Amino acid sequence: YLFKTFLNISLRHGYPFSIIIIDIDFFKLVNDNHGHQIGDTVLKEFAQILKSNVRIEDTVGRWGGEEFLILAPGSDLEAAARLAEKLRKIIEKFNFTTVGQKTSSFGVSTCHAGDDEKSMISRADEALYAAKNGGRNLVKVENYTM
C-alpha cells in the first residue's frame, strides 16, 4: 500500500521516490553453520540497524528470505545511493550475535515516468544482482534507459 502511494505521488507531482533492496551476503551459511535461531537473531539485528539509520519518512521492511526493502520518498537516485552506502558501511562494521561481521549488497532504483511497482523492483533487483556479481558488499544503482 505504501509503495503504491509513494509511487503515485511521485508520478503525479514529480516528487522523487527511490527504493533500495538489500541482501545479506552469504546468509545461508549463517543458518547452515549456526542454526535458524541464530539466523533469526541476525535478521532482527540487521533490521534494527536499517531502521535506526534511515530517515523518519523512510520505510524498512523484510522483502523475503534475507532481503530487505527500503522505500525512500523524497530521495532521488543519488540520495538513495548515498543512504545505501552509509548503511553498507555501518553493517560491515557491526558485530552480529555469534556470527561476527557480515556484509550486504544493495540495489537502488528511482521512479521514472510510466513506472509501476514491478518496473522499479525489477531495476533494483538487477542492480542488486550486479552488486552480488561484482563481489558483494557493494551498492549498485539501476541502469535506466527510456
45 belongs to the catalytic site: no
Residue 105's pLDDT band (boundaries 50, 70, 90)? very high
Identified catalytic residue from 66, 85, 92, 126: 66
Q: Which domains does the chain show, CATH number per domain? A: 2-141 (3.30.70.270)
Nearest to 18 by CA among 134, 104, 92, 127: 127
Share of the chain above pLDDT 70, in %: 99
The whole-number pLDDT of residue 146 equals 60
Answer whether residue 144 shows pLDDT above 90: no
Helix intervals (H) in the chain: 2-13, 27-34, 36-52, 77-93, 117-133
